Amino acid sequence: MSAAIWHGSPDLDQANEMSAGCAIGHLGIEFTELGPNHLIGRMPVDSRTRQPFGILHGGASVLLAETLVSCAATFVAAPGTACVGQEINANHLRPVTSGWVTGTARPVSLGRRSQVWEVRIVDDNDRLVCISRCTMAVIEAP
């Protein structure tokens, strides 16, 4: 995909502001970059996102992935439509104990009724931590 896929002019500052008071903000997730066909965000690996054994909780990785996809899918959606999650899966490949993890969401398929996205999450050393795929349903806006 060479042309920009976004409708309108997506605003990452606004997306970060809207996320501040919910799970996204509580876990420290922030949107950091919007490219022509990808969205990047990051999440700290700290007491909010680690499990009792001191490593990044798999559920936190899934929350990061779904957050990125939900935002990206919304930015792609045509006026008058909305996107809702249908399915997500994740393979956790490497433990992380501190620092940040960064996720990059890229579309696999952008259909009229559904979208499929892949998210690759890496650690501070650019090592693959988790790979996730998420399917979004495109519906009429409520």
Distance, in Å, from the CA atom of 81 to the CA atom of 112, rounded to the nearest integer, reads: 10
Taking the mean position of all CA atoms in its chain, how far away is CA 25?
A: 13
Q: What is the pLDDT along the chain (142 residues), one digit of tens a residue?
A: 457 899 888 999 999 999 999 999 999 999 999 999 999 999 999 999 999 999 999 999 999 999 999 999 999 999 999 999 999 999 999 999 999 999 999 999 999 999 999 999 999 999 999 999 999 999 998 8
Rounded to whole angstroms, what are the CA distances from 22 to 13, 28, 132, 140?
16, 10, 22, 24
Q: Any idea which residues carry the catalytic annotation?
A: 66
- Positive or negative CA dihedral for 83, 50, 32, 107? negative
At 1 the pLDDT is: 45
